[in-house]
Structure 1
Amino acid sequence: MQANLPALVLLPGLLNDERLWAQQADALSADVDTHIADLSQDDSIGAMARRVLDEAPPRFALAALSMGGYVAFEIMRQAPERVLRLALFDTMASLDSAERAATRRGLLQLAHRGRFIGVSPQLMPRLIHPRWLDSHVSATVQQMAAAVGKEGFIRQQQAIIDRADSLPLLADIRVPTLIVVGADDQLTPVAEARLMHERIAGSRLEILPECGHLPPLEMPERTLSLLREWLDS
């Protein structure tokens, strides 16, 4: 990281790698020292957060998507004084419903038995808006999942299952906070974003039309402009 530039740490989601944020990181590179964390190496949210903190500069802006949001909340527990501002994309502070938790455990069991196919054709419509099916966006999603692989997926899914409830934390967040959600996100719906917005004082909520769970890939330019505004606020 370059000490003469403000720092931005970007956290990917489940089965995502640096490609999730690559377009924004590249566009911001002249003004911000960006670091895209690898969240595939640990099997708990706490360990993921510690790894990010070990690799990050003393103070930084923090932007996260989906599972990355769970790690961001844990960073706000472990070292809130190091975070200058927070951006939460398509994530939630609440725990999974019983049905969703059961689905996660089922997928984890299948992976342990060797049945891991990355992002299936059945799951893709839940991840991205229909206009991006059979496009470069869906291809990138599949490539990222393949790169993280079965073992990375097992670690990440176990971490998500075991994560803490972050709803009680929201009232303690005092840094400038941006909350973004795709209007058509089926995994972390708008209601979850509104709940975070209501409980984080002074936060800004942006709902992106015709967008699913992955705004950095589906709406890269709008995501970039939101990050610029947030960094400059």
Structure 2
Amino acid sequence: MPRDETEITPELLLNAYAAGVFPMAEHRGGHTQWIDPRRRGIIPLDRLHVSKSLKKRIRRGEFEVRVDTAFEQVMQNCANRDETWINDEIFNLYVELHHLQQAHSIEYWKDGQLQGGLYGIRLGSAFFGESMFSTSPDASKIALVWLTARLRAGQFTLLDTQFITDHLATMGGIEIGRSAYHRRLNYAMQQLADWNALPLNATADEVLALTAALPVVR
């Protein structure tokens, strides 16, 4: 059956991201709206902050990080909140993009259970982080560390978080203006990156080495 002309398609959604716009709904049953904030959240890929306590937890290795094995479960957990911007239309669109290998999930597993993770869209050398969840201490933070390592290994240039929360700020997230964001975005759209550059069996030490903040040159 052909799509309605007003319906958002995966192709339209990717074009919107390439132009700096993303979708949100006011609530689970609300209409999808296009958002282009004046201030944009990003995590500079050379400035991820991993605390000493988080490094210790990572090195203990009491968990498993998987990639793209439970995308829909991750989305469902992210949407399972009293207030959510993920309506049915957005959920279905991202599942379609996942099947097209344009949307991905990083998953934290422990004792055979999915206990945290994040998902987002890959386009050019940009990764647009959409949402994360955690039912285990530091699970979403560890997923973010693994995501950053994957992006660094694959020569990505932009990690877009849309907005900055206190949680993201502790990990190195910052806000930049719309024009500065669009300059970074335009550059990222012209570059190629490899989502699969990081081996699935990368060790904790390999991941931490990839995410180490680079020294500031003065």
Give the TM-score, by structure 2 length.
0.29
If each structure's helix is expressed as a fraction of its own residues, which one has the higher value? 1
Q: Tell me: higher relative CO, structure 1 or 2? Use CA pairs within 8 A at least 6 residues apart.
A: 2
If each structure's strand is expressed as a fraction of its own residues, which one has the higher value? 2
